[in-house]
Amino acid sequence: MAVRLSGRLGLGLNCDTEQTLDLLERISGLKEGKRINLSFQDIDFFYPSFLVSFMIACDKATKEKQCTVSITDWPEEPEVRCYLRDSGFCQLASLPEPPQVENIEHDKENILPIEHLEMVGPTFGADLVALLERRIDLSTGVNRQLEECIEELRANIIQHSQTKWSGVALGQDYPASGRVRFSIGDAGIGIKTHLCEQHSQYRELSTTDVLRKSLEQGVSGTDLETNSGQGLYELQQFVELNGGELVILSEDGFLLLEGRQVKEKRLLKWKFQGTIVCLTFEADYGSKYYLRSELEQNGIIPTNTEAGDQ
């Protein structure tokens, strides 16, 4: 099978989501031992959400079904080729470095390279928050809490993904557009399957409704782990306040939120084996983010400012 891709690949608004989902479906649906050849020649842009979901889908197909995924043509644009190198994608996917990028220097400070979650260092969450703080003014408390949310997500994936390797994550600051994008994903059993193992009431719900539920406080895959179900909830709270974007792809469910609004909620006709969470944070010049407790400690009760629970 040969597939020619074009445009801006990723999941979310301003991305070619349909083409990305179509490609993931093709890779996920490969039969044992089959091959797919991909042409990246006409691609203008790779979002982190594409690289993470593509990595997971390919890993699953190649390791479990001995399929072959090969790239027959690299992107024509040198910057785009360079990004594949500097994001760490080529190295992690055991691909050769794209041609003719030796003399091109990408701004590596803008990238939190793609990496397996067990391999990232203890400052992984802090490094992502540092990317965010280039665009958004965060109090110390919010800084710490966001870091803990990211680490909580990572810990949950490592603990619960039920696969040999847990997952991957990639972060990127886009100074030109004033956005920070972060994607994290695993090749596990999926959110609905995981929640249904412990809570029979979710079995009656559609996958997209379960994904919506998974963003609520305290929803977790196990009765016995306390304080679970906080990572996604608190991140979603922050993205909501920020007016950013949250995308979840898990099994046959696809959910896209912009700020508080559900922009898209779709049941797919195929299943992505795993879960991808993609966050886009908007540059929010002129705003500062505080925890409620920080304001209250200083005698300030939030009234006119927008406020989430925390």
Partner 1 sequence: MSQKIVVKELMGERCSQRLSPNGFRDGRFLRDVILYELQRNDSLEVDLNGIVVMTPSFADEAFGKLLYDYSSDQLTKQLKFIIGTAEPHIVNRINSAVSNRSAIIEAEKQKKQGNHFSKESVTS
Tell me how far apart the alpha carbons of residues 29 and 22 are, in angstroms, rounded to a whole number. Answer: 10
Query: Does 243 sit near partner 1 (CB under 8 A)?
Result: no
Please give the structure tokens belonging to residue 149: 């949310």
What are the φ and ψ backbone dihedral angles of 221, each rounded to 5 degrees? -80, 0
Q: Which residues, 6+ apart, have CB-to-CB distance to 305 below 8 Å? A: none
> Smallest gap, in angstroms, from Cβ of residue 123 to partner 1?
7
Q: Which is nearer to partner 1, 85 or 192 (CB)?
A: 192
Distance, in Å, from the CA atom of 214 to the CA atom of 257, rounded to the nearest integer, reads 13
Q: Cβ of residue 130: shortest distance to partner 1, in angstroms?
A: 13
Give the rounded distance of the alpha carbon of 95 from its chain centre. 22
Q: Is 309 a residue that touches partner 1 (CB under 8 A)?
A: no
DSSP-derived letter for residue 289 is E
Kindly state whether residue 154 participates in binding partner 1, applying the rule CB under 8 A: yes
- The span from the CA of 145 to the CA of 6, in Å, is 38
Distance CA 16, CA 8 (A): 5
Question: What is the footprint of partner 1 within residues 213-242 (CB under 8 A)?
Answer: 218, 223-228, 230
88 scored as a contact of partner 1 (CB under 8 A): no
Q: Report the alpha-carbon distance of residue 59 to residue 65 in Å, rounded.
A: 10
Nearer to partner 1, 82 or 132 (CB): 132
Query: Rule CB under 8 A: is residue 205 a binding residue for partner 1?
Result: no
306 near partner 1, rule: CB under 8 A: no
Of 25 and 148, the one with the shorter C-beta distance to partner 1 is 148
Count of residues that bind partner 1 according to CB under 8 A: 28
CB of 147 to partner 1, least distance (A): 5
Question: Based on C-alpha coordinates, what's the Rg of the chain?
Answer: 19
Q: State which residue, 49 or 228, has the beta carbon closest to partner 1.
A: 228
The percent of the chain in helix, strand and coil, each rounded to the nearest 5, is 35, 30, 35
Looking at 19, 156, 273, 275, which residue binds partner 1 (CB under 8 A)? 156
Q: Per rule CB under 8 A, is residue 175 in the interface with partner 1?
A: no
Pick the piece of the chain touching partner 1 (CB under 8 A) from 34-42, 67-75, 117-125, 131-139.
117-125
Q: Return the sign of the alpha-carbon dihedral for residues 100, 77, 25, 271.
A: positive
Q: Is 159 in the site for partner 1 (CB under 8 A)?
A: yes
Q: What is the total residue count of the chain?
A: 310
Residue ranges in contact with partner 1 by CB under 8 A: 118, 122-123, 125-126, 140-141, 144-145, 147-148, 151-152, 154-156, 158-159, 199, 218, 223-228, 230, 293
